[in-house]
Every structure is written in C-alpha cells, then in structure tokens.
Amino acid sequence: MSLTFYFAPMSTASITEAVLAELAIPFDLETLNISIGDTKKPEFLKVNPNGRVPAIVHEGMAIWESSAITMYLGEVFGVEAKLYPAPGPKRGEAMKWIAWGNVTLAEPASRLFASLPTEMQGDVETNSEEAAVPEMKSAIAMEKAKADLADCLRILNGGLEGRSFLLGDYSLADTHLQGIVGWIGSMEIDLTRFPNVTGWLKRCYERPAIAKLMAG
C-alpha cells in the first residue's frame, strides 16, 4: 500500500491530518511551506494543479479536495474501522455533511476570514490567497458573512439535536466538520449561541486521535 499525504500546518490539510489520525493507517508525509511557495512549485502542481493542500496520492492516484479525500479514505479504510458507513442511506448522510461543510458552511466562513483585519487572521491560512482580499475588508462584508454563517451554524445545531455526533455514532463526518467548525470558532463568532455545536465540538476534541494532534 502506498499513500502519500501533502500537508501544510494551519491549513485545510489539518482536516485530512485528523482523518488519517483517526484511521491510524501508515502514510508518507510531505510537508509543504505555503509562505515560500511550495504549493505553486511544478512538482506539486503535478499532484494538484490547483496548488493547494491537502492532496493525497494513493496507489498512484492523486486525489485533491479535502471533502473528496475524507470520503475516499472513509470508503477505502473507514468502513472496516467503523468510522464510515457502508454504502447505503447512512453513507449518504455522511457525504451530505462532508460536502455541506466544504461548500455551504465554508463559503461564508471564507468570506468572514477574508473580511477580518490582517492582524486578526492569526496564524491560520495567513499565506493563502483568501487572507488578503482588500475589497472584502469592510464592516458590511463582515456582518453579512457573520449572518450567513449563523444561518449555517443553526442548521448544524439542528442536525445535532438529540445526537452526540452527526450520524449518531462518531464518524469521519465529525472528524471533517470539527476541522471547519474549529476554524470558524477561531474567528469573530460566538459559538455558545449554538449549544449542540459546542457540546459536539468538545466531544470531538476528546477523541484520542484529535486530542493528540491538538496537543501538538
């Protein structure tokens, strides 16, 4: 089995890092430094022409987009590990949350991030293109992004009603979403308005694999 993981610290690749940690499968790690342009070098563009992490190469096949990677690793390694549902409606439920996280939830989150003053963007993704979008830096853009994000967090809060985790039991859908919601929590958003979300996030952070990553 050959699996290579292209990673950069404090980036979307942290989601895949958590997925791989949960699955506890061996892989070769390639750490890239976004700030010195590693993601735009010809050798990496052969793996991901978008010049972004995460990417994996499994058995010679390059796979990019964190949501595709989570679903792929779940399908190949997660079913037996009881971290990803077998094909069927539960699988559909997992895919729904993972795709929603990357598309619908991450969209206003990226707008909020881009609208923050540079000094408030912290270490997270500060070298990514989204980090410096001058036209997004207005109070109006920030308020709109916050309102749209609150709508999404209400949906997540509703999805978690009466459940410990998104599918009931813990799955890679939770591993994936906790990465995005953790990033959102590091911005100007009060998550305590969404108690199911904060309780769920705490339970995710108590997972040994995730706790270990967070401890560094």
Ligand X SMILES: N[C@@H](CCC(=O)N[C@@H](CS)C(=O)NCC(=O)O)C(=O)O
Q: Does 172 bind ligand X (CB under 6 A)?
A: no
The 3-class secondary structure across 165-210, one letter per residue, is ECEEECCHHHHHHHHHHHHHHCCCCCHHHCHHHHHHHHHHHCCHHH
Looking at the Cβ atoms of 115 and 128, the one nearer to ligand X is 128
Tokens standing for 30? 């390639």
Tokens standing for 215? 């401890």
Q: Does 45 bind ligand X (CB under 6 A)?
A: no
Stretch that binds ligand X, among 48-56, 91-99, 140-148, 167-175 (CB under 6 A): 48-56
Looking at the Cβ atoms of 34 and 160, the one nearer to ligand X is 34
Round to whole Å and give the CA distance between 179 and 174.
9
If you ran DSSP here, which 8-state letter would residue 162 be given?
T
Stretch that binds ligand X, among 34-42, 143-151, 158-166, 194-202 (CB under 6 A): 34-42
Q: How far is the CB of 183 from ligand X (least distance, A)?
A: 9
Q: Does 51 bind ligand X (CB under 6 A)?
A: yes
Q: Does 177 bind ligand X (CB under 6 A)?
A: no
Round to whole Å and give the CA distance between 215 and 199.
20
69-83 b/e with 16+ CB inside 10 Å = b?
A: bbbbbbbbbbeeeeb
Q: Does 179 bind ligand X (CB under 6 A)?
A: no
Chain residues 85-144 in contact with ligand X, contact rule CB under 6 A: 102, 125, 128-129
Residue 172: name the closest of 74, 102, 76 by CA: 74
Q: Does 152 bind ligand X (CB under 6 A)?
A: no
Round to whole Å and give the CA distance between 204 and 165.
8
Q: Does 11 bind ligand X (CB under 6 A)?
A: yes
The residue with tokens 């997270």 is 124
Looking at the Cβ atoms of 54 and 182, the one nearer to ligand X is 54
Q: How far is the CB of 103 from ligand X (least distance, A)?
A: 9
Q: Does 19 bind ligand X (CB under 6 A)?
A: no
Q: Does 70 bind ligand X (CB under 6 A)?
A: no
Which positions touch ligand X (CB under 6 A)?
11-12, 34, 39-40, 51-54, 65-66, 102, 125, 128-129
